Amino acid sequence: MTPDEALDLIYSVVASIPRGRVATYGQVAALAGLARRARLVGHALRETPDGVDVPWHRVVNHQGRISARDEPASEHNQRRLLEAEGVRFIGDRVDMESHQWDE
């Protein structure tokens, strides 16, 4: 599989996460047929150009926390976007029990 094909798979999986639900990096990787390659998912989302139709904010780490990145403002923005669609937080983490995407 070429790197581009892997990216397309990742984006298509993320695009299918329902509004108000969240998925983990590892979950996205597994659904894309890329087991144990969660880091690749993080890399893919990091490279995602703004404006494309990919709800990157619905992907959080396995603990329900918003992963750190270069721009702290983007992290706060992600939480804001999630809360705007009804996702509730318990402290600094998403209430995975009620919001993780079953699939």
Partner DNA sequence: CGAGTGACGGACG
Partner DNA sequence: CCGTCCGCCACTC
Copy the structure tokens of residue 82: 């999630």
- Asked if 87 interacts with DNA (CB under 7 A), we say no
- Asked if 11 interacts with DNA (CB under 7 A), we say no
Q: What's the maximum distance between 2 C-alpha atoms anywhere in the chain?
A: 40
Virtual CA dihedral for 83, 101, 3, 66, nearest 10 degrees?
40
Among 13-21, 35-43, 81-89, the segment contacting DNA (CB under 7 A): 35-43
- Asked if 17 interacts with DNA (CB under 7 A), we say no
Copy the structure tokens of residue 41: 């998912």
Which chain residues interact with DNA by CB under 7 A? 3, 24-27, 36-43, 45-46, 48, 56-57, 59, 61-63, 67-70, 74, 78
